[in-house]
Amino acid sequence: DAGVIQSPRHEVTEMGQEVTLRCKLISGHNSLFWYRQTMMRGLELLIYFNNNVPIDDSGMPEDRFSAKMPNASFSTLKIQPSEPRDSAVYFCASQGDRGLNEKLFFGSGTQLSVL
Amino acid sequence: AQSVTQLDSQVPVFEEAPVELRCNYSSSVSVYLFWYVQYPNQGLQLLLKYLSGSTLVKGINGFEAEFNKSQTSFHLRKPSVHISDTAEYFCAVSEAGRRALTFGSGTRLQVQP
């Protein structure tokens, strides 16, 4: 398996533009997590899904952020409109279904820069 | 809600020296504890985890951690570090019955020759 695949690796955009980050889960995994990493705030959980259903979205900063799982193996995180303070590395991670504490497999992240 | 405190933002150490990275947590319920490592430009990888049983947990790459319930700590140790251990290390906690992890702010381990 190729692991968790995120795209793009780097995204540079201008303030006000829409940004879509993509994540492909490991085959057979059924939980998906979106994290944001910044120097100031470290790793923050934005949202997570289990079996395509959003379980906890309390970490989503505001209505400009939305996340979906259109199918069991794919997720998108959309920011519209983007702002400079959204600049960060966004990670997605997937988890199998053998137990609540099975390890997370992280993608390589998307480095987002909003100018 | 749980929280994780990593007391050291950076730890410089010479190669082959021992190292301890500190982690304290707070929670009102039972927790599970994890250490993840992040190499430059990569995602996080699991080093080890404590769920129950023996309080000394051994992980990959020669790392181990000890769960101390009375001190609410889960410090990570390695008796002899290598240059290749240079990375950022994150302590994380999840509450029993929940999938989501809360991460600490990370400790950058810098191994010098």
Measured distance CA(B93)–CA(B1) in Å, rounded:
11
What's the confidence (pLDDT) of residue A62? 84
Residue in this structure with the two tokens 């995994």, named with its chain if needed: A29
Q: What is the pLDDT of residue B33?
A: 93
Provide, rounded to the nearest whole percent, the portion of chain A with pLDDT above 90.
79
pLDDT at B97: 73
Mean pLDDT of A31-35: 95
Query: Which pLDDT score is estimated for A1?
Result: 64
- List of chain B residues whose C-beta atoms are within 8 Å of the C-beta of residue A91: 43-44
pLDDT at B10 over 80: yes
The pLDDT assigned to A100 comes to 65
Q: How many residues does chain B have?
A: 113
Q: What is the DSSP letter of B9?
A: S
B57-102 pLDDT per residue, tens = 999 999 999 999 999 999 999 999 999 999 999 999 988 777 788 9
Residue window 9-68, chain B: list those with CB within 8 Å of chain A.
32, 34, 36, 41-46, 49, 51
Question: What gap in Å lies between CA B6 and CA A93, rounded to an integer?
Answer: 22
d(CA A88, CA A109): 10
pLDDT at position B52: 85
Give me the mean pLDDT over the A4-25 stretch: 96
CB contact under 8 A, A103 and B49: yes
Is the pLDDT confidence value at A104 over 80? yes
Mean pLDDT of A26-55: 92
Q: B76, B23 in Cβ contact below 8 A?
A: yes
Question: Which pLDDT tens digit goes with each residue over B18-49?
Answer: 999 999 999 878 889 999 999 988 889 999 99
Measured between CB atoms, does B102 come within 8 Å of chain A?
Answer: yes
B62 SS3 class: helix
**Are A99 and A36 spatial neighbours (Cβ–Cβ below 8 Å)?**
no
- Give the closest-approach CA distance of B78 to chain A in angstroms: 21
Nearest CA in chain A to B107: A42
**Nearest Cα to Cα of residue B43 among A94, A76, A112:** A94
Q: Over chain A, what is the mean pLDDT?
A: 92
